[in-house]
Structure 1
Amino acid sequence: MNLSRTIAMLLLPLLLAGCASSGNQAANDPLEGFNRGVYAFNDELDNYVIGPASRGWTRVTSPDVRNSVSNFFHNLESPGYILNDLLQGKPADAGRETLRFVVNSTVGILGFFDPASSWLGIEGRPEDFGQTLGTWGVDSGPYLVLPLFGPSSPRDATSYPVAYYTNVLTYVAIDTLTFGTLTAVNIVNSRAELEGAARFRDDAAIDPYVFTRSAYRQYRRNALYDGNPPMSDDPYSDFLEDMDADPDI
């Protein structure tokens, strides 16, 4: 998927949602008042704590270091990906993810490097319990913004406890302080990687809340179908195909 298609997938739902109304009923957001309050809290936390910390982290680290840190934490989450692949009836994907985990944990030096992708061509594909429930036919439910965690839904919120108990870090951290420190590094590093996207959202969106809600839903729908959502259900497919075919876009 090229950049123009990605941006379009983010912007089109925003524009349509904005034209529809404050649209909490049409947008399946009956908790919009509550959600906006939590969104504002998260936004302030990002403005005054996480955002500045991530920019400081960016100043003292290189892109290669940040990428290695990201690889490390994603590798620790691999058992959860494997479990959810199995629960979704995808044993071949579970096997590939298991091979990735073994190779990156050993040859990749605890996952700081990703030889499974660079040498073997085995790309990682995160799977979580929200996607598993979606595969089983469970409806996502209304849009929900969680303190600290951000955009979610009742179905996707189930991912967090499952992810906690399937993360290697949960079992190898020496003590609470170590676990908390590593978790903070993960949060700050992840936020640093999203700096460009955060700026794009703030600069492009008339209402960042609506933009975030729409973009999150598109992202989760894409994840549920492993990057190949049914085109028959995609109201933007023809437009997006035209964009990809136009070399001037």
Structure 2
Amino acid sequence: MSCLAKVCFITSAALMSFVAQAADEDPWEGANRVIYRFNDTLDTYALKPLAQGYQFITPQFLEDGIHNFFRNVGDVGNLANDVLQGKAHAAGVDTARLLLNTTLGVVGFFDVGTRMGLQRNDEDFGLTLGHWGVPTGPYVMLPFLGPSTVRDGIAKYPDTYASPYRYVNDIPVRNSAFALDIVDTRASLLSSEKLITGDKYTFIRNAYLQSREFKVKNGKVQDDF
């Protein structure tokens, strides 16, 4: 077999393996694409324009402060999942971040913890389940919520217990804070859209699955090639 033939054979084998893996990870691709188109349409005509308007009228220091505030709120969930995963060091870091940012950082408006070298962990109950060996299950595109898996989708409900919205009784305040959180999150992703290439659905799916695997394995992911 010539060198060129060997290269073609290896390339074809790798491509077939990739296609088979994608089919295993996303067996409901047809339905997922329908939901993705719904989400993308909603984002294009509603959420993205809101995020762009928010970013345009909000001074940078205020936008940063609001973003820091919601990240500080999210550190409660990070800490809870650090404990559930038995990560003592990470739990200590997130505890220190919460205390510093909530007090010296004026309820999280300033990220004092990061400035002091305490890097934020990013944990949720889906990652906790993955840490203890629960498989991801098939890829799922959730209406409104976006990319997920069966494991991560189920884990979203327990995550709500670490969210403050569950404990806010004033409905207008709760809804306003929740809406601002969503718009702030979408605004923070505007610059990332430039990285998307090729089929947008496939790009988002692969990026999500790879990111989750990376986090579950704490960055210790082997390259298949």
Q: TM-score range by the shorter chain?
A: 0.7 to 0.9
Change (3 A) 1:17 1:151: farther
Contact 2:28–2:140, Cα closer than 8 Å, also in 1: yes
Percent identity, aligned pairs only, is: 37
Q: Cα deviations across residues 80-135 of structure 1 (Å, max 9, x unaligned)?
A: 111111111112211211111011111100111111111x2111112100110001
Contact 1:17–1:27, Cα closer than 8 Å, also in 2: no
Give the CA deviation at 1:19. 9.7
Contact 2:47–2:183, Cα closer than 8 Å, also in 1: yes
User: Which of the residues 151, 157, 160 maps onto 1:155?
Assistant: 151
User: Which of the residues 32, 50, 54 maps onto 2:47?
Assistant: 50
Q: Which has the higher contact order (CA 8 A, sep 6+)?
A: 1
- Provide the TM-score with structure 2 as the length reference: 0.87
Corresponding residue for residue 173 of structure 2: 178
User: Structure 1: any 5+ residue segments left out of the alignment?
Assistant: 1-15, 237-249
CA distance in structure 2 between the partners assigned to 1:51 and 1:212 by the alignment: 17
Q: Cα deviations across residues 120-158 of structure 1 (Å, max 9, x unaligned)?
A: 211111210011000100100000000111000011113
Corresponding residue for residue 72 of structure 1: 69
Q: Cα deviations across residues 10-34 of structure 1 (Å, max 9, x unaligned)?
A: xxxxxx889955x686342111111
Corresponding residue for residue 223 of structure 1: 215
Aligned residues, how many?
Answer: 212
The residue type equivalent to 1:96 in the other structure is: V
User: Which of the residues 148, 164, 167 maps onto 1:168?
Assistant: 164
The residue type equivalent to 1:224 in the other structure is: V
**Is residue 210 of structure 1 aligned with residue 202 of structure 2?**
yes
Matched ranges for 1:58-137 at <5 A: 58-118=55-115, 120-137=116-133
Change (3 A) 1:44 1:99: same
Larger radius of gyration: 2
The residue type equivalent to 2:142 in the other structure is: L
CA distance in structure 2 between the partners assigned to 1:83 and 1:33 by the alignment: 36
- Provide the TM-score with structure 1 as the length reference: 0.79
CA distance in structure 2 between the partners assigned to 1:124 and 1:52 by the alignment: 29
- Deviating 4+ runs (over 6 angstroms): 16-19
User: Structure 2: any 5+ residue segments left out of the alignment?
Assistant: 1-13
